[in-house]
Amino acid sequence: MEAKSTFPCARERLEMELREIKENPPTHISFGPLSDDDVFKCQGIIMGPIGTPFEGGIFHLSIQFPSDYPFSPPEVKFLTKIYHPNVNEDGKIDINIGEQWTPALTTETLLLSISSMLTYPILEHAENAISVLYLNHYQRYNAIAREWTQKYAMSGFVSISPDAQSLHSPDAQSLHLEVAKLSIG
């Protein structure tokens, strides 16, 4: 069931963003609703950036929009396990999106920022053991991040957390089909 919108523009704004991403799909990201009945619950996909330990990985994210969107940011969480200084063990992104969020930003902008964060971690917001390894033993961090990417984001199907919908991505061709499905509706 769809979230009750305190702001009537929330649903319209989400539908506009979904139309825009269908018409102009970005190369390495996509998102779409989990069902036609509820545009407030979406799934995103980010392809691991080239030149990072995440390269070749397909990362699924849960995107939950608040009823007052775009005045408040969506809650975004990695469903695919990832070894990154800004992502905790539950997939929650350890940066305060709300501090920089404005209604002018879009979900596409947010996903592009998260993709950029995979290349350039925001270490002032990282307070976990992964950030210590990143700062003090970068090669070891890279090796573990690459291992996790291969294990969880590149396998025959993408491993996601138990509370997520069942998804799989056997190869790059399937990714493009999956991204296209999300972009089309």
Q: CA-to-CA distance for 141 and 107, rounded, in angstroms?
A: 29
Q: Which residue did the predictor score with more confidence, 6 or 90?
A: 90
Which residue in this structure is represented by tokens 């990714």? 175
Residue-wise pLDDT tens digits, 119-136: 999 988 777 899 999 999
Distance of CA 57 to the CA centre of its chain: 12
The predicted pLDDT at position 126 comes to: 76
Residue-wise pLDDT tens digits, 146-176: 999 999 999 754 444 444 433 333 333 444 4
CA geometry: angle at 118 spanning 24 and 54, to 5°?
A: 95
Residue-wise pLDDT tens digits, 13-61: 999 999 998 898 888 999 999 988 889 999 999 999 999 999 999 999 9
The predicted pLDDT at position 98 comes to: 66
In the chain, the domains with their CATH numbers are 9-184 (3.10.110.10)
CB distance 44 to 31 below 8 Å: yes
